[in-house]
Structure 1
Amino acid sequence: MNFKTPIVDLTNVSKIYNKQIWALKKIDLKLYRGQCISLLGSNGSGKTTLLRIIGNNLKNTTGTINYNLEEENILKAIGLQKREQSWPNGFKVKDINDLWIRIYDMNDLEWINKLKDVFGVNEIEEKYLNKLSIVRLQIYAIFLAFISKPELVLIDELSSDIDFRYEEKITNFFKEYLSVGNTLVLNSPSYYFLENLTDRVVYLNDGEIFDDLLIKEIEKEYKTVMEYTKSIFKEELVVEKKIKNKSKFFSTMNTKTETYSNNLQTLIEQLECEEHHNEKMLNRLKEVYFSVLDLKTNIDNLSVSYINANSIKIISKKIKATIKSIKKLTINYRYKKYHKTLNSIEKFLSKELKRTFANDKVIVNGDVLSITMSKTEKKQLEKLKERYIKEEQKIIRRKILKQQFKKEKKKIVKDKLVQESLKEDITNEIK
C-alpha cells in the first residue's frame, strides 16, 4: 500500500451548471491514504459539489480525476453519505440493511455487526425510516456508506447534534479506519470531529481552494482550528468591504463579456440547427464561447477578491488565447456571416480588456493599485511553470513515441511485403 501516491488526484476540475454558473473553478487537489480531510467554507462555496464529484456521483465539466484504488469496482471502493435523506413510506431500517448487504455482496458479518454497534443501528432496525429524526438519518446514512468496506469515505454532513455517546464511538471507529490506510473526507464537521480527527483542512471560497493546510501548520500559527476559521472569516469580511468600490469598476467588463457569451451561445444553437453544419466550425465556436465564459468568471472573481500579480497575468494570458481562437475563425471567408459578432468581441478584447490587464497595475476609481508578488506567490508561479513544462514534455514524448511506433509499423509491413515477394520469386524459380 503506497501512502505517498494519492488515492484521488484532481487536476483542473471545474463544474459549470446551466453553462454559466461555476460551482467549482479549476480545482487541483490530492487526497492521500490515512488522511482525514475536513472541507471548510461558507454555504455555496462548492464543498458538496466537490464531494459528489470525488465520489463519482456527479460529472465534472472540465479537468481529470485519477483514482488509485485497490478495489476495481469504484462504487464499492468509495462510500458517500449524502446530505439529503428521504426514504419512501413503508421501509424499515432492516429492509434497507438487507438490500445494501445484497447489493455489495457483503458476507463479512463481523464487519456489519461492528458497524451496527458503532452507529446504533441495532436500536432502530425495526423502526420505519420516515419516522426517524434528521440526526438519526444522518448517522444511518454514514453506516450505509461504510457497508461495502470502502477505501475512501465522503461524509457530507456530520452534525453537531449527534449524541455525545455516539461522538466518541464514531471518532474511535474513524481513527481505526484511518490507521489501516483508508481515507476520510468530512464536509464542515462539528468542532468535536474537527479537533479530534482532522489531519488537513481544505478551505473553499466561491468554488476555489482558498487554503490547504495540514493541522500541524494551523496549530503552529493559530493554536486551534477554531481560531483559524475565525481568522479566515474576518479576512473574508475585510475583503468584502474593500471590494465594493472595485466591483463597480469591473461591472462594465462583466456586462460586456456576458453579452458576448450570450451572442456566441445563440450562434452555436443556430449552427447546431443547420442540417449539414460544419462540425469543425461548431467546435471552434464552442472553444471561443468557453474562453469568453472563462474570462467572465475570472473577471467576476477578481471583482470580489484580492488583486494580485498572478490573477492579472492569468487574465491577460486568457485574453490573448481568446483573441487567437477568434482569429482562427475570422481568417476563413466561408464563415463571413459570423464575422460581425466575432470582430466586435475581438475589438473589445484587444482595445479594452488587453490594455486594462497589460501590466501589474489596475486603475480603480482613479487610484492606481500596484500589484507586487509575495515570495509565496513567486514560488507558486515557479511550481506552476515547472508543472506546465513537465506536462509539455510528456506531450512531446507521447508524440515522439507515436511517430516511432508508426515508423516501426511501416517497417514491419514493408519487411513482410519483401518476405512475401521473395517467397513468391523462389516459388516461381522452383516451378
Structure 2
Amino acid sequence: MNYTTQMDAAKKGIITEEMKIVAKKENMDVELLRKGIARGKIVIPANKNHKSLNPEGIGEGLKTKINVNLGISRDCPNVDKELEKVKVAIDMNAEAIMDLSSFGKTEEFRRRLIDFSPAIIGTVPVYDAVGFYDKELKDITSKEFLDVARKHAEDGVDFVTVHAGINRKTAEVFKENKRVTNIVSRGGSLLYAWMELNDKENPFYEYFDELLDICEEYDLTLSLGDSLRPGSIEDGTDSSQIEELIVLGELTKRAWERNVQVMIEGPGHIAINEIEANVLLEKKLCYGAPFYVLGPIVTDIAPGYDHITSAIGGAIAASAGADFLCYVTPAEHLRLPDLEDMKEGIIATKIAAHSGDIGKGISNAREWDLKMSHARRKLDWEEMFELAIDDERPRKYRKESTPEFKDSCTMCGKMCSVRNMNRIMEGKDINILRSDD
C-alpha cells in the first residue's frame, strides 16, 4: 500500500521503517506509536530526501528531545567552522539541528549538513529568502517565499519553521495591545515588516494550502512558529500570544486533513508560575500536537547565564507535557555561540529534558538515576563517570583535586558520609583520625 507521509501511513494502518526504528528506541509498542502519529500527537520528521537520517519521534509518551540551533551569519560566515560544531553536537547526541543560516553560502552549508547528519534537520526558510534572492525584504514576492520553502524541502530538510500564525488579524491584536519587547521572533518580525511594507497578507498564511502541497510531496513536517512569543516575562501569556496560538490550532487541523505532520512552537520568556498553564493551553488549542518550546526563559536578568534560566523553564515545561526543547546557550542575546557555548547549552538542555521525563513518568527514565545512585553508594568513580550525562567535566574535577584516600573526595575526606555509612553497615570501625589499617 502506498503512502505520502508518515501520518498518511499511520492513518492507513501501515507500519513504516521509521516507526519501527523509533519504537525500538523508545521501548514502545509500535502499534501504539502508529496510533499516536495518526492522531497527530506524535511526529517523525523524516524528509524523503534525507538519506542519512536516523529517525526520532517527538510527542506524547516519548522521551523529550532537544534541538540545537546553528548556522552561518553575516558576521560569522565560516561554513567549515560551523560544520565542526554540528559534528560535536551530533556526538553529544542532540536529536535535532536547526540551520538558522541567514547570510553567505547558506545552500552549501545546508546541503553538506543534510548529507552527513543522522540528526533531524530543521530550517527557517524566511531567514534564507533575503540572501537567496539578493533582494531587500520588501521586494520579495509571496511566491518567492514559498519557493524557498520548496528548495529547502527538495534539499532534504525534515522540518521547517513557518510563521504562518501572524496574519492581518493577529497583527491588529498586537498593535492594539502594547508590549514591552514588541516582536522578538526573527522570522515573525521579518514577516510582520513585510506585511506592513507591502500592505498584504502573510504569504505563508494566505497560501497555506500551497505550502501543504510541498509538505505532502516531501513528507516535510511543519513547525508552526510563534511570531508573537513573549520576549520578556512581562509580555508572557498576553492577548497577542494567545490570539496567534488559536490561529496555529486552526492551521494544525488544516494540515492534518492533508496528512502533514505538525509541531507547535511556544514561548519564549515566561514567568515560572505560568509555564504549566502555557503547556495546557497549547495542548488544548492545538489539539495535542507536539509542543516545541524555546526555553522557556524564566527571568530576564541573566545575560551570560541563559542556559540556566532556560534549563529551569525547560525542565518544568517538559514535566508538564512539552515534547521538544530548543537549547539556549550562555551566549543567548549576546552573540553567535562558539563551540564551548554550544556544549554548555546542549548539556543544560539535556539535563532539563531528562528531568522533565522523570516528572512525566516516561518509561525507564528513572533507571539511569538509580544506576548513578548505586554507583555513588559504592563510591565507584569510574562507573559514575560512565553514567554521567557528560563525563568530561567530572573526570577533570576529580583529576584536578586528588584526595588522600580513594574512597572519598577532597571536600569531605574521611568524614565522607557515604564512606562511613558503608563501613558501619559492613560492621567496620570508622577511622577518621587514624591511618587506614
TM-score normalised by the chain length of structure 2: 0.31
When you count strand as a share of all residues, which structure comes out higher? 1
Q: Report which of the two structures shows the higher radius of gyration computed on alpha carbons.
A: 1
When you count helix as a share of all residues, which structure comes out higher? 1
TM-score normalised by the chain length of structure 1: 0.32
